[in-house]
Amino acid sequence: MKISVAMAYYNGGMYIEEQMDTILTQLSEQDEVIVSVDGASDGSKPLLLKMAEEDKRIHVIKGPGKGVVKNFENAIRHCSGEIIYLSDQDDIWKPDKVKKVNEAFLNPKVKAVLHDAQIVDECGNPTGAEGLFANRGSRKGILKNLIKNSYVGCCMAFRRELIPVICPIPKEMYMHDYWIGTAAEYMGEVCFIKEPLIDYRRHSSNVTQMTHGSMSFMIKKRIDIVRCLGLLKRRVKEAGEEIEKVNG
């Protein structure tokens, strides 16, 4: 099955070569990496274009310039693979990530896969901090993940059939990964792999942080998410109706 890797890029020149190397070594010739570029003011645009010229699996596209959620959506919309992996620009994929995630998709009921991650510093050295699953108490469940989100995008892959359901992502959604994970739960099963399959790099330039915002912000965010879930349910229902029509 063809794999697409959807990457949202913004001034990631410091780490992109190492990250891309760990991805490409696990892909076949038919697979692809879609890099949606929201900005490269760090001078990394020539590097991206050079990488794409040297490896035809890399496709560099212009991002919408509307933040990380819409940048990921743009990358996802350009993916043609059956399985779509989300990727940050600065992490390190462990050598058997793709093999183990793909094995989980052999179960046709599985719509998305989530794996654990080891926390490393900007040099790639383990920090000794607990992994993402332990940090977030990761498990499936709509209510559980509304309270504390388990669905970290760089640890996720999902089936292509979710695209009509998740896109477009509502502007009120602060987290594309929570949106995708919840859609997968509504449509089927989510497989959790307890093994850390990436090194999750934490540094001063990270777009996402491991700490929460203010209480008022957290409350507002969850109110907005609950409002969006009604839209998600309608899309899932419509997708199911379309599948029934096709299957006749």
Strand partners, 193: 115
Domains of the chain, with CATH numbers? Answer: 3-247 (3.90.550.10)
Q: Is the pLDDT of residue 199 over 90?
A: yes
pLDDT on residue 204: 56
Least confident of 19-23, 58-62, 194-198, 235-239: 235-239
What pLDDT sits at residue 244? 66
pLDDT, residue 205, reads 57
| Residues linked to residue 9 through DSSP beta bridges, in sequence order | 37
- Banded pLDDT at 217 (limits 50, 70, 90): confident
**What is the mean pLDDT of the segment spanning 55-66?**
98
3-class state of residue 210 by DSSP:
coil
What is the SS3 assignment for 5? strand
Provide the pLDDT for residue 72: 98
Residue 139 contacts residue 192 (beta carbons within 8 Å): yes
Q: Which of 215, 129, 116, 213 is nearest to 174 (CA)?
A: 213
Measured at the CA of 80, the angle between CA 79 and CA 86, to 5 degrees, comes to 40
The contacts of residue 172 (CB under 8 Å, 6+ apart) are 224, 225, 227, 228
First to last CA, the chain: 25
- With tokens 């183990």, the residue in question is 100
- Per DSSP, what are the bridge partners of residue 157? 85, 113
Task: Quickly state the pLDDT bin for 80 (edges 50, 70, 90).
Answer: very high
> For 95-150, how does the pLDDT look when each residue is reduced to its tens digit (9 = 90+)?
999 999 999 999 999 999 999 999 999 999 999 999 999 999 999 999 899 888 99
